[in-house]
Amino acid sequence: MIDIFLGFVIALAVGMTGIGGGSFTVPALLLIVGMPTAEAVGTTFVFAGILRLVAAPFYLARRQVHSRYARLLLQGAIPGLVLGMLALRIFAKQENYPAVVIVIGLLLAVSSSVTFLPKAQMPGFAQKNSRWLPWLAFPIGVESGFSSAGAGALGTVLLLNYSEMSPAQVVGTDLLFGLVLAAVGSLVHWTLGSVSLGVLAELLLGGIPGVILGCAVARKVPAQKLKAVVALIALCAGLQLVWSGMRALGTRSAGNSPHFVIQAKQAIRR
């Protein structure tokens, strides 16, 4: 039941803002459901991909997608995505994932704060310097491949503050961008067997109605308010990742402490 509720809430955010598919789902699956790292990321890739597949036609029909910017972002993000997934395979075995999640969360929180600092924004940057978009998207792809978080959050923050597009067009463009990355990531994780079909089905049971409702609500939100909502959700997603990483590190430290080990051994003997 909790998976259905999580799916609905996360999908509602994705439909409205394009953010939340990976930033909220991975921490929830790790901390609430208790899934292994690689399986949580793999399941999230498929879940986020299906949500974006449902949401993208709404924005395409309204012509709120900048295809050229999406193409330039993908040129840099796809190689980064492959590199990030390779890194995930290595770091998951070494149990260094929580520390990386904290770094990702801090990066997302700081970058999202730019939205509330008008002097730090450059609306004409992408239009005048579009050749830099693939290079800026490369680290977003790496992060997305490693944690499945970033394609929606960081991509949206980048376009929101450094392009001339309206907030609704930013959301639509980033949804298409994230959809392609999610499709590539889902295919890789599916072939590796790191997708939980049971959890995925429950997430989608709540997620599909949630993303449709989110897309419908987004049409009625004024541009400036939508921009503030997008930035606020991205900021919350970053703080959520920091909190999740700190909690995971604390749990792991407790698990390695002598007192915890003694209690565990006593429980086994009983």
Distance CA(37)–CA(146), nearest Å, equals 10
Q: Please tell me the predicted confidence (pLDDT) of residue 220.
A: 78
For the chain, state the CA radius of gyration.
18
What is the average pLDDT score of the chain?
78
Of 51, 236, 20, 32, residue with least CA distance to 149:
20
Of 218, 204, 192, residue with least CA distance to 13:
218
The answer to whether 114 and 232 have CB atoms below 8 angstroms apart is no
Distance CA(241)–CA(236), nearest Å, equals 9
Residues 6+ apart with CB under 8 A from 238: 23, 104, 105, 106, 107, 108, 109, 110, 111, 112, 153
Q: Please tell me the predicted confidence (pLDDT) of residue 263.
A: 40
Reported as a single tens digit per residue, the pLDDT across 51-92 is: 999 998 988 988 889 999 999 999 999 998 888 888 777 765
Give how many domains the chain has, as a whole number: 1
Reported as a single tens digit per residue, the pLDDT across 218-256 is: 777 776 676 677 677 777 777 877 887 787 777 766 655
Query: pTM above 0.85?
Result: no
**What is the span of the domain harbouring residue 146?**
2-269
